[in-house]
Structure 1
Amino acid sequence: MFTSPFRRRSILAAALCLAALLPARSEAQTPAPAPVRFSWDWAPQGYHAIWALAEERGLFRDAGLRVQMDRGYGSGDTISKVATGAYDVGFADVNALVQFNARNPDRRVIAVQMVFDTNPAAVVTLRRSGIRTAADLRGRNLGAPEGESSRVLFPVFARAAGVDASTIRWTSMTANLRETMLATGQVEAITGLQMAAVFSLRAAGVPAQDIVVLPYAAAGVDLYGHGIITSAAFAESHPEVLRGFLRASLGGLRAALADPAAGMAAMKRREPLFDEALELERFAMARDVAILTDGVRQKGFGTMEPDRMARLVAINAEVNQIANPPAPESLYSTAYLPPLADRMP
């Protein structure tokens, strides 16, 4: 059949127009990634590789998220910024939520996924002090920032270990001077997160064999540690975003546990001054002390049990002298976690 040159040109032009329209239609049907602002608890540490790998391996992208990650300045600061909406999600010590929510019931912040199943708070000292057990702390000079969670929880540790907390003399300092004051002999011991204090001392040149650690958990203080937090308002208004974030975080955690060196390399690409060798050791300590616990092996990553949360509220209310603590069930939610089968180690 004969087709005129004019008709052929018309058909070709129509085809080209259709081809040009198809990609635009496809792109229009693909939703833009949801932005999420995420604050860590502190400066870059080995355990933050969980989220560096989640980003680098496309887990956030696959969840439909575009995540902005920033360093933190302590759990209290992170909680406050999440409460005000400056950040959507944070990583912080869930013990600090008790006092914050008691003081700010209209800006409630909740835990939605536990990461440190065991609280890594500890007394850390040097061998030259002669301190080997909790009993040796009587009458000693301990240092920590005022309001820092491990210092606030010290009376709980002292009671569990059979030590009269009133015999302790305290020296206050900013967090960045804590390990320096121990290393220079201005205090005899400090309180802090085990992996933070130990590796800050190591970075300051203190040999590992000279460091003595008295973990609170070893004395029977059974508390959760750090977890992923968000505001109750954000959880209610963005449930699928939150579910996607927790799913990607779990994938990043599995990736970091499977290949810690890859996690440190991912952090190095984010932070040029990141010390891969030192932080690999820090991550290993966090894994062994707080992340991959017997409880996690039995009950899965991220789990928050009602009885442990109730105990956490009761203990924190006691040590902080909170007359009207928040109800334990108002402090956390497991509704956004992946299914238990997907959370088993």
Structure 2
Amino acid sequence: MLNRRHLIAAAGAAALALPAARTARAQTALRFTLDWALQGNHAMWAMAEDRGIYRREQLAVRMDRGFGSGDALVKVGSGAYDVGFADFANAVKFNAENPQNRLVMLYPVFDRTAAAIVTLRGRGMERPQDVAGKNLGAPEGEASRLLFPAFARAAGIDARAVRWTSMAANLRDTMLRTGQVDAVSGFLFTVHFNLVGLGIPEDQILGWPFAEHGLDLYGSGVFARAEWIERNPEAAARFVRASVDGLKALLADVPGGMAALKRREPLFDEALEARRFAMTRDRSIITPNSRANGLGHLDMERARQLVAVNAEALGVANPPSAESMFTDRFLPPRSERML
């Protein structure tokens, strides 16, 4: 038979359990799509889950691999996913053609686009301007290829003197290795480490990122549909805050981040992806701008440049305004985003 002390203790335990139950019920479920199969930089969201950051923000996030930035844009725009991570260049065309499903960048994770020209030593190129007169390869419609005319203007390259060979994305790196093309365009950290995987020594790979040679555009980031944002402003802010904190956790513990992805994908190559993330970190995430102004800092003039350049590249006659495509209202305070 329970005495009075036991009854009081039981009542107290029950009272303490009620807030926990309410907290569990209050969690917001989010569907989140990546841009591609798991790569090193995606560990920021794996760590957000494993380190309890999502739980702190009362989020229950389902993270799925992606099949390209364009696919991620369509999936979020259609409502199949709530938030996504992708290169935002093609959103210019998407928003122009689908104003009812307008997409908005909430947090530019990559302060600089990873688009680049990549070649191998011995191909007669030692600087970006040397691609004039050469044969470049890339899939038709690939973002860096579409941006090349703007990059050429910024870098002083005669774009008319460049020949292009089209191929499937999975053949690009092999065709460069075998000499069927002189150079390729693509994301620097993707092409570089694909070549490493094909047995090319790293000191034989040359890469010229567009952002470091005159075309300083934003790259990939967290985005959502405008209509969803207006219905879920608190969830949007909490997910962005969790993303920033997840990135800071990854920056502080790269091996831990790679291990977090390995737990999700047994075939994940921790050593290679740690090197891929280091390149991504040093060339696209930690930049003079992010050091001075914090992770995710939004410079609307740079956002306008991204819209203008992509509108030209994609033939968008009446592009949406940068103000309709970018917002910093959901970013944490600057003090919480400093490196």
What TM-score do the two structures reach when normalised by structure 1? 0.92
Please, which of 307, 310, 314 is the counterpart of residue 304 of structure 2? 310
Answering whether residue 80 of structure 2 is matched by residue 86 of structure 1, we say yes
Q: Quote the residue 1:188 is aligned against.
A: 182
Of 263, 266, 291 in structure 1, the residue corresponding to residue 260 of structure 2 is 266
Partner residue, 1:229 = 223
What SS does structure 2 have at the residue aligned with 1:37?
strand
Once the two structures are superposed, the pairs formed by residues 52-67 of structure 1 within 5 Å of their partners are 52-67=46-61
Using the TM superposition, give the Cα deviation of residue 26 of structure 1 relative to its aligned residue in structure 2, in angstroms. Answer: 4.2
Q: Deviations over 1:126-173 (max 9, x none)?
A: 113122122221222111111111111001111112222122221222
For 2:222, what is the secondary structure of its paired residue? strand
Match of 1:160 in 2: 154
Residue type of the alignment partner of 1:215: P
AA aligned opposite 1:29? R
Paired residues in the alignment total: 338
Q: 1:297 to 1:17 in 2, by over 3 A?
A: closer
**Partners of 1:287 and 1:337 in 2: how far apart?**
20
d(CA) in 2 for partners of 1:53, 1:10:
46
- Select which of 22, 29, 34 maps to 1:29: 22
Change (3 A) 1:134 1:28: closer
- Comparing 248-257 with 175-184, which one deviates more in the overlay? 175-184
**CA separation in 1, counterparts of 2:156 and 2:6?**
87
Whole-angstrom distance in 2 between the partners of 1:267 and 1:108: 31
**C-alpha displacement of 1:32:** 3.7
Q: How does 1:32-43 map to 2 (within 5 A)?
A: 32-43=26-37
Instruction: Give deviations 1:250-300, integer Å, cap 9, x for gaps.
Output: 111111111111111111111111111111111111111010111001111
Structure 2 counterparts to residues 1-345 of structure 1, below 5 A: 22=15, 25-30=18-23, 31-345=25-339
SS in 2 for 1:123: strand
Measure, in 2, the Cα distance between the counterparts of 1:121 and 1:294.
18
**Aligned pair in 2 of structure 1 residues 53, 13: CA closer, same or farther (>3 Å)?**
closer
Change (3 A) 1:166 1:35: same
1-structure distance, mates of 2:49, 2:269: 20
> How far apart, CA to CA, are the structure 2 residues paired with 1:20 and 1:293?
50
- In the alignment, residue 172 of structure 1 is paired with which amino acid? S
Q: SS in structure 1 opposite 2:81?
A: coil
Give TM-score, length-normalised by structure 2.
0.94
Per-residue CA deviations over 1:25-48 (Å, capped at 9, x if unaligned) read: 445533342111111111111111
- How many Å apart are 1:20 and its aligned residue? 8.7
Residue in 2 that maps onto 1:5: none
Task: Write the distance in 1 (CA, Å) between the matches of 2:85 and 2:300.
Answer: 20
Q: Distance in 1 between matches of 2:189 and 2:245?
A: 23
Aligned CA RMSD, in angstroms, stands at: 2.0
Q: 130-139 or 302-311, which moves further after superposition?
A: 130-139
Summarize the Cα distance change of 1:258–1:19 in structure 2 as closer, same or farther, 3 Å threshold: closer
Against the structure 1 CA distance between its residues 201 and 26, is the aligned structure 2 distance closer, same or farther, given a 3 Å change threshold? same
Alpha-carbon distance between aligned partners in 2 of 1:116 and 1:124, rounded to the nearest angstrom: 19
Deviation of 1:326 (Å)? 0.2
The unaligned stretches of length 5 or more in structure 1 are 1-7
Q: Percent identity?
A: 51
User: Rg bigger for which structure?
Assistant: 1
Q: 1:337 to 1:18 in 2, by over 3 A?
A: same
SS at match of 1:124: strand
Unaligned runs of 5+ in 2: none
CA-CA distance at 1:16 after TM superposition? 9.8
